[in-house]
């Protein structure tokens, strides 16, 4: 069930350079949340009529909280970062299909690949896969050490491979180069990725020739979030601009979606 409810900010914290975590309290269809689902957040300022899509990084049906992690890219996210504890924001959700959890069982080898703002949905996914008994490896990339976040969450779920473009922490280079340096990438049953288009294309190039199932979560621009405006359409093998990321995604079969 989709709801549009007011939530109160109960925590707002800067995690890394220009990266914030906000925890919101309110009524929600918590049972309907899967890793990879997102919400459309309405800022409490009439200048911002369009809601902003943000992935659910964590949620707690007992405490009635959802956690969002966001990077300041424009005025909307900057305004969100300035909202104090106690402020009310409106949340539409849960939205999207979420990551497929088919073919995962105790001992299944899974790889999560993320960069920048693609990490929040992977945090919830890593936790759920760990609870299912999977062997979780996560490869993440950041521009530089001051932008790193999520280390504790990913390490709690399994092995973390970390890269920075400038080599200030971990492997020096991007996530693609990091994966290329590993000898074990063929062992994974499933790969799940979220991040910039270049990262998703790299995952396609690397894993399409293998047996690994590929799930890509897209973060294109959105306006309505509910399939009404067609601002978010992408192409799949079945046709041209034929799928709405907001309703039929944001997670797609990596062998079908055309980036």
Ligand X SMILES: Cc1cc2nc3c(=O)[nH]c(=O)nc-3n(C[C@H](O)[C@H](O)[C@H](O)COP(=O)(O)OP(=O)(O)OC[C@H]3O[C@@H](n4cnc5c(N)ncnc54)[C@H](O)[C@@H]3O)c2cc1C
Contact status, residue 257 vs residue 236, Cβ threshold 8 Å: yes
Among residues 244, 250, 254, 257, which is the contact residue for ligand FES, using CB under 6 A? 244
83, two tokens: 């909202």
116, two tokens: 């920048």
Phi and psi at 47, nearest 5°, equal: -65, -20
* Listed ranges 12-20, 139-147, 205-213, 238-246: which one lies at the site for ligand FES (CB under 6 A): 238-246
The smaller minimum CB distance to ligand FES, of residues 54 and 128, is found at 54
Among residues 83, 145, 185, 224, which is the contact residue for ligand FES, using CB under 6 A? 224
Contact status, residue 37 vs residue 95, Cβ threshold 8 Å: yes
229: partner contacted, choices ligand FES, ligand X, none (Cβ within 5-8 A by kind): ligand FES
Distance CA 15, CA 3 (A): 29
Among residues 230, 237, 241, 258, which is the contact residue for ligand FES, using CB under 6 A? 230
Among residues 14, 75, 155, 230, which is the contact residue for ligand X, using CB under 6 A? 75
Distance CA 51, CA 76 (A): 9
Query: Binding of ligand X at residue 77 (CB under 6 A)?
Result: yes
In sequence order, the 6+-apart residues with CB closer than 8 A to the CB of 151 are 160, 162
The smaller minimum CB distance to ligand FES, of residues 18 and 248, is found at 248
Among residues 150, 170, 250, 254, which is the contact residue for ligand X, using CB under 6 A? 250
Determine whether the annotation assigns residue 244 to a binding site: no
Closest CA to 22 of 1, 41, 50: 41
Site residues, ligand X (CB under 6 A): 38, 52-55, 69-71, 73-77, 117, 120, 219-222, 250
* Feature table: binding site for FAD: 69-71
């Amino acid at each position: 069930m989709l709801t549009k409810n007011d939530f109160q900010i109960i925590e707002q914290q800067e995690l890394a350079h220009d990266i914030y975590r906000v925890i919101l309290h309110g009524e929600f269809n918590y049972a309907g949340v899967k890793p990879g689902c997102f919400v459309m957040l309405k800022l409490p300022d009439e200048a911002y009529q369009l809601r902003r899509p943000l992935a659910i990084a964590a949620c707690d049906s007992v405490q009635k909280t959802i956690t969002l992690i966001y990077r300041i890219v424009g005025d909307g996210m900057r305004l969100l970062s300035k909202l104090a504890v106690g402020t009310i924001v409106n949340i539409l959700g849960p939205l999207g299909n979420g990551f497929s959890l088919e073919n995962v069982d105790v001992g299944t080898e899974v790889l999560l690949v993320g960069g920048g703002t693609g990490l929040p949905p992977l945090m919830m996914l890593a936790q759920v896969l760990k609870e299912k008994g999977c062997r979780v490896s996560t490869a993440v990339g950041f521009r530089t050490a001051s932008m790193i976040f999520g280390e504790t969450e990913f390490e709690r779920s399994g092995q973390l491979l970390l890269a920075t473009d400038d080599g200030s922490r971990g492997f020096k280079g991007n996530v693609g180069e990091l994966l290329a340096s590993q000898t074990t990438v063929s062992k994974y049953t499933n790969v799940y990725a979220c991040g910039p288009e270049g990262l998703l294309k790299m995952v396609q190039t690397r894993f399409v020739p293998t047996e690994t199932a590929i799930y890509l979560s897209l973060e294109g621009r959105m306006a309505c979030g509910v399939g009404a405006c067609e601002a978010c359409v992408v192409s799949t093998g079945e046709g041209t601009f034929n799928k709405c990321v907001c309703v039929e995604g944001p997670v797609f079969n990596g062998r079908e979606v055309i980036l």
